[in-house]
Amino acid sequence: MKRRNFLKLSASACAALAALELKDKTIFKAAYAKTAATSPQLPGSLGAKEIPSVCEMCFWRCPIVGKVKDKKLVKIEGNPKSPANGPRVCARGNSGVQLLYDPDRIKYPLKRTGERGEGKWARISWDEALDEVAHNLKEVKKKYGPHALAYFDHGASAEFMRDIFKTLGSENYTNEPAFYQCVGPAALAYLKTYGYITTGTRQYVDMQNAKAMLLVGTHIGENVHVSHVREFIQGLQNGAKLVVVDPRFSAAAAKADIYLPIRPGTDTALLLAWMNFIITENLYDKDFVQKHCSGFDELKKAVKKYTLQWASPICDLPVEDMKKAILLLAKNSPHVSIHPGRHSTWYGRGDTSRHQALAILAALFGAVGVKGGLYFPTPVKKGHVSFGCAEEEPETPSKSISEDYYPFASTFGSPTSKIIEATRTANPYPIKLWGINGVNIIQTIPNPYQTMEAIKNLDFIFCEEILPTETAIWSDIVLPGATYLERYDSVYTYDLLTPYLTVRQPVVEPMFETKSSFWIARELAKRIGLKCFNYNNEIEFIEEELKGAGLTLKGLNKKGGIVAYEPNPYRSSKDFKVATESGKVQLSIEDFADEDLDPIPRFVPTPAPPKGYVRLVYGRSPVHTFSRTMNNKWLHNEVPENPLWVNDELAKQVGIKDGDEVVLENQDGYRSWPIKVKVTPGIRPDTAYMVHGFGSRSKALSKAYKQGVSDQFMITEYEDDPFMGASSHRTNFIRLVKAGKVINLPELCPPPKEIPRFSAKKTKTGGK
Amino acid sequence: MGYYGANLKNLLNKELAYICRLLAQGFTYPNGENCSDSFFSAVEQVARALDISCKKVSFPLSELREAYTLLFINEPNGQWAPPFSSVYLGTQGMLMDTGRDEAIKFYKKAGLEPVKTEEPEDFLATELHFLAELVDSGQRELLSSFLSAHLLKWYPHFYARLKALEPHPYYLLLAEITSKFLNTLNQEVIDETT
């Protein structure tokens, strides 16, 4: 082709182009040295600049080092100076690179242009996005009052924006799914028993020095937090005995000396019977109980009726096995790790009591403040920072959706179920605006169908998001958040067995127009007219925090970004004291009694599956976090979907084979997408299991969409924990549909008369 | 050499650089400047010069902004065409991968660096701007290798993906102009040097 054929620009065309003054639009400058291109490049991460920071692929927050070359993150490793994880990170920690560079990311502020839930957007400027959010916050407050504003949040970075909702006066300024969908009941039980949150973000249990360990439903190894797993493995390496109670043969169960495949929903029965057994057999630590506990006589009396013989048919466990297990634990006391658990929102009723029972069991063994037992945090000093936001709690409305329903809910905020109900029904008051930050509420809160209905009632909904999740799809304004690798947060302190102080700091510049959570909150506050966030940037308040620890950011970075401290986890009998009201470990909790709740756990059965159904339970994959990581290509490549575990005997009876594809139908007629079956003896016949977090409904998540099945979309029935309002997640039942034919599942482990059967609502056919 | 040099001098003229920059602007988020009558008119004229039939180009800013967002930024159904070479050239389908590294190597060879922009360095508009720089400065060999060893290795994949989406007619037109322009330019460079 010759040039004359190629370009036939007329004189007027040339003039038109010239008139655009495009030359001035150049975006290049002379800068790179020409020789740089020829200088030898070291392979991989060799020669990379190393920047210490803190991981957020899960919320254990391991110290990491980001390796950066040419302004690009090439590798993530554990911070070798970290006394907790050292140079190790888990698969997710490694894969932060993929989160940072995921093309699916939310890149610019977006405004909804289509119907709500349709996800049609146009990019807008930060000014326009923030002005719109600020305007709606003010308008809704003016029209309906402060409590019409609700905020769902997760993670430390979401706390900045939380201050805005609090300052605006809403009682619904913190509705963390982390509590109401996860650790709330356990945290409350331990807080009231021991005076500190023995299990919350962290679990203060000394497995590495234990002589025996008890896990009830906890599946360490599949649920991975690096230093926690290491301590568990170290304990086993040291010869610790292990008892695992779980309806599923988990990774931890495979390491157990005694495995008890308990009937789901009956754990408290087992724990109560064990308590009674060690009291009646004089296997408890009398000295510890006498000196450091209150309420023992009441406890003794309350648990007297719970014998191993009583528990056996309820738990579907042989008396001998239960006995062997408790004797094994008793023999090794006080150096026993009664693991407090973490995710505890299982059955609604009885969740707080189950964890209270675990807490009491540890106390009866004297397994508190000693090697191998529960231990005390070692506070790491840092400077106090005040952002100048509302210091006082907002005024409670005449009818609170928090404490007027659940007496201990306000410890953690407002229950998510009540927020959604009030949004749907305007009872006890209307909620008209949601802000969401750091959590995909559609895949986190039970009955997403109700959540989506509630969203339709809102005047306005916005979120700060990293990926185009279902929540983003439903939002009116989407604010693009920077990942943990692109932003500062706060100083992090770790108060477990290897205390340290470190700081999250950016390893690379934020991609596109993404911004840090602090920047977003500060800019928003300015537009609302709130006198909040009296620091110009994160570095200013980080320096303030570090000052309190005698450090500077530069100084900390010179030390490798982390400073370690001596732990103080144990207490002699003389020094033992706890921060409860009585100053003693509370085996009976008066605060509960004052609210007409059980001061001592009792067995309240959770209904058994209706005929033809099995209970649906769920757990974790070692390479995924909640529903947050399924779009991460490296992790997706490792575990792309979640098979449904079905008992082999059950499968045989209904002609289901390993690898078969089925659809799930729950007790309310809701159907899932197809899922592969894993036929295994490692699950009870009355239970089916899948890993949580799969089956994304957001087509904008190119790797996660329609991969596997969402357990959340099968959870339409839930009840709230009466203590703090957390929502149950294991109160739903499924049957199978294969090739369009509904398969009713035979009952191979019929429940005893003490356990009522769930009465299914009128079953819909055809699914939803 | 003199012969080729003479032709090259003709080839690398300001009109070609204008076209590169016009297309670069076209693939930039719609603003007042790249969404004006004069801009649309220039697009029309370039299309005609490349024998691409087009009706009168004129679209409201808001319409193009929505279309651009859904095609090149985020689309709720995942039906979008990422305008970044790394997505097509790397093995991982991620941003900031080998495509970006390749682009930077070319920029370095030319002694250039993009001023700080929001997008990664391998953004289509940035690469088209770079092409304009090469045209302007008459760096024939670098232009040739940038086209054949980089831009034309990924642009056809991007274009195919975009076409399959049945996109907004304006962006389909821009993509078609770009495709024809790059291929013809490449062919011309080959012809000039053989």
Q: Which domains does chain B have, with CATH numbers?
A: 2-193 (1.10.3480.10)
What is the CA angle A513-A519-A521, rounded to 5?
Answer: 115
Q: Searching chain B, which residue's CA lies closest to the CA of residue A30?
A: B112
pLDDT tens digits, one per residue of A181-211: 999 999 999 999 999 999 999 999 999 999 9
* Of A86-100, A105-119, A457-471, A508-522, minimum mean pLDDT range: A105-119
Indicate the number of domains in chain A. Answer: 3
d(CA A567, CA A227): 15
At A38 the pLDDT is: 46
DSSP secondary structure letter of residue A496: S
Residues 6+ apart with CB under 8 A from A21: none
A624 and A726 part of one domain: yes
Q: Searching chain B, which residue's CA lies closest to the CA of residue A33?
A: B111
pLDDT tens digits, one per residue of A22-38: 766 778 998 755 544 44
A225 and A356 part of one domain: yes
At A760 the pLDDT is: 61
Has residue A766 got a pLDDT over 90? no
Contact B95 A26 (CB under 8 A): no
At A6 the pLDDT is: 59
d(CA A420, CA A34): 60
A543 and A626 part of one domain: no
Q: Searching chain A, which residue's CA lies closest to the CA of residue B116?
A: A27
pLDDT tens digits, one per residue of A226-266: 999 999 999 999 999 999 999 999 999 999 999 999 999 99
Of B11, B14, B84, the CB nearest to A3: B11
d(CA A659, CA A679): 8
A154 and A257 part of one domain: no
Contact B69 A14 (CB under 8 A): no
At A549 the pLDDT is: 98
- Over residues A546-552, the mean pLDDT reads 98
Of B18, B109, B114, the CB nearest to A37: B109
- Single residue among A525, A545, A564 that ends a domain in this structure: A564
Of B33, B69, B77, the CB nearest to A699: B77
The residues with which A691 forms a beta bridge, in sequence order, are A619
pLDDT tens digits, one per residue of B113-161: 999 889 999 999 999 999 999 998 889 899 999 999 999 999 999 999 9
Burial of B163 (0-12, 13-18, 19+ CB in 10 A): middle
A128 and A203 part of one domain: no
Query: pTM of this prediction?
Result: 0.95
Residues 6+ apart with CB under 8 A from A654: A736, A743, A745, A746
Whether residue A329 contacts residue A242, with contact meaning beta carbons closer than 8 Å, is answered with no
Contact B45 A29 (CB under 8 A): no
At A8 the pLDDT is: 62
Token couple for A81: 């100076």
Q: For all residues of chain A together, what is the average pLDDT? A: 94
A278 and A330 part of one domain: yes
Residues of A in contact with B108 (CB under 8 A): 32-34, 36-37
Judge if ipTM > 0.90.
yes
Contact A7 B49 (CB under 8 A): yes
Q: In terms of Cα–Cα distance, which of A60, A230, A29, A27 is closest to B21?
A: A27
User: What's A549's domain CATH number?
Assistant: 3.40.50.740
Distances in Å between the alpha carbon of A614 and those of A262, A671, A718? 14, 15, 16
Q: In terms of Cα–Cα distance, which of A763, A680, A694, A738 is closest to A249?
A: A680
Structural domain including A739 reads: 614-743
A157 and A188 part of one domain: no
Percent of chain B with pLDDT over 90: 76
The residues with which A614 forms a beta bridge, in sequence order, are A734
Residues 6+ apart with CB under 8 A from A24: none
Q: Is A435 part of any domain?
A: yes
Q: Are strands A661-666 and A675-680 parallel, antiparallel or unpaired?
A: antiparallel
Of A32, A101, A702, the CB nearest to B96: A101
Q: Is A32 part of any domain?
A: no
Has residue A416 got a pLDDT over 60? yes
User: What's A281's domain CATH number?
Assistant: 3.40.228.10
User: Which 620-639 residues of chain A touch chain B by CB within 8 A?
Assistant: 633
SS3 content of chain B, % helix, strand, coil (to 5): 70, 5, 30
* Of A553-557, A749-753, B149-153, B185-189, minimum mean pLDDT range: B185-189
pLDDT band for position B10 (50/70/90)? Answer: low
Residues of B in contact with A14 (CB under 8 A): 15, 18
Contact A28 B113 (CB under 8 A): yes
A134 and A209 part of one domain: no
Contact A28 B133 (CB under 8 A): yes
d(CA A343, CA A261): 19
pLDDT tens digits, one per residue of A53-87: 999 999 999 999 999 999 999 999 999 999 999 99
At A17 the pLDDT is: 81
- Single residue among A378, A400, A426 that ends a domain in this structure: A378
